[in-house]
Structure 1
Amino acid sequence: MFSTDPVVSVKDATIFQEYNAVLSDVSFDIQKGEFAYLVGRTGSGKSSLLKTLYADLPLRVGEATVASYKMAGIKASDVPLLRRKLGIIFQDFQLFNDRTVAENLMFVMKATGWTDTAKIKARLTEVLIQVGLGSVEKKIPYQLSGGEQQRVVIARALLNQPVILLADEPTGNLDPEVAHGIMKIFQQINNTGTAILMATHSYGLIKKFPARLLKCESGKVVDSASAPFELTSEY
């Protein structure tokens, strides 16, 4: 049955980094197919919030539901099932440099339950084409540019057709022109119905590709959807 529930729903949550509360009274929803930026100064809690949403950090206070999984007290056995429904994109790529691009993607597919070799190869080719990479399957990641490596990371995140991409500074290490190309890919993915929550420091990208803003500031999350605000380059 088709659900109209938000893909992410957070209510009265406190976000911890180890034992320090970095954000409190956090409440927001992200709907199916929505695009939102997560902004704020370094150390304001952006990464901790994302890590809480994909169960890398525990949710100790408040409620959150992500892709239909309740995050408070989520069982260890449910975490891999949750992550199959998410696409997680890291700033530092986290690709295996001793394996080809194809082997990097196959590793994730086998770890998430893919067994049919023909289906694995077909899906692998499909996601690489989706991110504009046709013939890199046999290359080792270090043979690729930073922008190409990030496209591989996005392809990896798309393998299991996630309901949402959680992207932590995906353009942080890329020059503006390459970052612009990555944002175009995110737009295309978003247009197919995948929600995206993207942490970024790039004021330039936000100006060029405007969307809803969730701003981590002074231990709170301010939502431009409920309390519109102007973003200056000094955030």
Structure 2
Amino acid sequence: MTEMLFRKDAYLKDAPALVVAHTPEGGIILDQTIFYAQGGGQPGDSGTLVWDGGELAVATTIKGVENDIVLVPGEPSGLPMIGAEVRQSLNWDRRYKLMRMHTALHLLSVVVPLPVTGGAIGVDKGRLDFNMPETPEDKDALEAELNALIARNLPVSETWITDAELEANPGLVKTMSVKPPSGAGHVRLVRIGAGEDQVDLQPCGGTHVAKTGEIGSVQLGKIENKGKQNRRVNVLLVS
């Protein structure tokens, strides 16, 4: 299993690693990585690998078998040998925008307290789909409430519970379409705020900013009708 350095520090931009395997498709598995693998609506990271005598661009990152993380080259090229020491570097500007957007969508689920039926996280634009029979009458008020939460600069932290504790507390799960990251005996919860100022707590395996103020101002885009009781709320980063 690849050690997930991004779980310990989502702000790591580069780090050393050892190549432990190649996949039949030409992917690279490292002993530890700062690259987030696509999942939960968040795209996989991109960046570069450099080693003695070579360099390649990482186009995306996906999950492999047995919880390995696979770095996918941008184009066919020579791979570092198994056992080689490499230096991995993120496309940080892209990752940081994804962190900001992912955290903003957590807060969107606070101002729209309805079951989430789907979602996607993009660099400048993201969205959540809600089990929402009627379109909100005042989109501007929702936008103002979301920006007010962001401006409180609330801390974002994590805690862990067991699979059994999650099963006993189904209300923690907001997303109907994405299964919580469980099965390993423990589940990561992402908390926004602390103590009496806590505004959100839900299972999530993605990367987030340390404080909500880092998100910057956001704008609500079009609220789309995606079915009898399904509404899509789009969010854009504007600063």
The structure number with the bigger radius of gyration is: 2
| TM-score normalised by length of structure 1 | 0.27
Where relative contact order (Cα < 8 A, 6+ residues apart) is larger, the structure is 1
| TM-score normalised by length of structure 2 | 0.26
